[in-house]
Amino acid sequence: MPAPAGATSVHGLTAFLVFSGLIRLGVCQPHQAAPAVYMIGDSLVDVGNNNYLPLSIAKANFPHNGVDYPAGKPTGRFSNGQNAADFLAKKMGLPTSPPFLSLTGGATPPITGVSFASGGAGILNGTGELLVKQSIPLAQQVDYFALVRDQLVQQLGPAAAQTHLSKSLFAIVIGSNDLFAYFTIGSIVSNQFNPQQYVDLMTSTFRNLLKTLYGMGARKVMVAGVGEIGCCPVQRKLNKTGECNVELNYWSAKYNDGLKIMLESLKSDSPGMNYAYFDTYGAMANLFQKPDTYGFMEIKEACCGLGNLNADVPCIPISRFCSNRKKYVFWDLYHPTEAVSSMFSDLLYSGSQEYTFPMNVKQLLDI
């Protein structure tokens, strides 16, 4: 006998609950490349954590940031629109992972991932304080992930949580701020270490924290190397000819060399772990050498700012900003435009071994 109108059979209710649970776990969404993306890093992938840090001077939750974001809304992204975290999630068939600090009142973290990235953050604990007064350093981001993992275990059970994490992507974009902190005029850390000792300290600290993530279930890790950061507008403006800071670029490349060796070593010590390394430095160098090939015309000046190369003042409401943003490499004195973030996300997700090795992110997720 059919159930009365508006009633639900026990079997129907059970099937609905099971189906809902499968959707929540991503089982019924075959287009997803992974069940979740856990984003760790700095302002290049911050989607709003710094909005919740009262002391931080690294914020982007005001115009003209977000002018090309849906509804022209500033969100805390250091960009005219979306950043690499958004584009990567989209390629994976997932929503952008929300800022960890936005999950207030004991809210359950979404099963599709969480972002811990913070503007000004570094691999070393003191970096953010030196540069921006307050950020979430890498060690703290890992600690925050531990809290999310605990909730996953409660929600799914230990075995299912481990399976979920082993298939998820841990995307890490960090290191630039540590180098900026070292090569800033009057730097405290440059009195404590020579440059080689410093990049070695960055690498060893990073290795220990990656090992901690591995111990908590991370098996698929994407790590972006540091870019050609001596070529950002705030560095170029220090040179009368507008050229790049050669020393900063040299040590960025040296750090990347150590990072690649470290990742290979870590994989050999960590059964079941695989990684994709993105050569941000090489991708940037190629872009600077032939910008018109990729549709860009301005590689030195920031789109949004004031003064020399638009880099004397950050992108704030009184700044001017360019109308042809897709032609600019830099949005502000440090950060790329949405167009560059999109281009680099394409490379790291499905690019050739010229910039992603030993595999790209798509290949990593297929393992």
- Written as one string, the DSSP assignment of 262-319 is HHHHHHHHSTT-EEEEE-HHHHHHHHHH-GGGGT--EEEEESEEBSGGG-SB-S-TTS
H helix or E strand, kind and range, residue 348: helix 338-350
Give me the pLDDT at residue 13, please: 34
Q: Which residues contact 280 (CB under 8 A, 6 or more apart)?
A: 224, 225, 226, 227, 344
Residue 113 CA to residue 165 CA, distance in Å, equals 10
Are residues 119 and 53 in contact, defined by beta-carbon separation less than 8 angstroms?
no
Active site residue 332: yes
Are residues 351 and 275 in contact, defined by beta-carbon separation less than 8 angstroms?
no
Which one of the listed residues 56, 279, 335, 341 is annotated catalytic? 335
Are residues 53 and 118 in contact, defined by beta-carbon separation less than 8 angstroms?
yes
Tens of pLDDT, residue by residue over 120-151, are 999 999 999 999 999 999 999 999 999 999 99
At how many degrees (to 10) do helices 195-215 and 246-269 cross? 30
Residue 304 CA to residue 302 CA, distance in Å, equals 6
Largest CA distance in the chain: 86
Are residues 112 and 25 in contact, defined by beta-carbon separation less than 8 angstroms?
no
Give me the pLDDT at residue 104, please: 83
Q: Which residues contact 57 (CB under 8 A, 6 or more apart)?
A: 132, 133
CA 345 vs. chain centroid, Å, equals: 11
Residue 23 CA to residue 36 CA, distance in Å, equals 13
> CA triplet 175, 178, 181: central angle to 5 degrees?
150
pTM metric for this prediction: 0.91
> CA triplet 283, 288, 293: central angle to 5 degrees?
85
- Map residue 4 onto helix, strand or coil: coil
Active site residue 68: no
Give me the pLDDT at residue 34, please: 96
Residue 78 CA to residue 119 CA, distance in Å, equals 8
Active site residue 345: no
Please, what are the domains in the chain?
Answer: 33-226+248-281+339-366 (3.40.50)
For residue 354, give both structure tokens: 């010229």
**Residue among 39, 88, 129, 119 nearest 334 (CA):** 119
Give me the pLDDT at residue 31, please: 62
Give me the pLDDT at residue 182, please: 97
State which amino acid sits at residue 350.
S
> Given the structure tokens 């560095």, which residue do they identify?
235
Give me the pLDDT at residue 214, please: 98
* Category of 48 on φ-ψ map: left (φ > 0), alpha (ψ -120 to 50) or beta: left
In this prediction, the residues of the chain whose per-residue pLDDT falls under 50 are: 1-30
Give me the pLDDT at residue 185, please: 82
Which one of the listed residues 332, 341, 342, 345 is annotated catalytic? 332
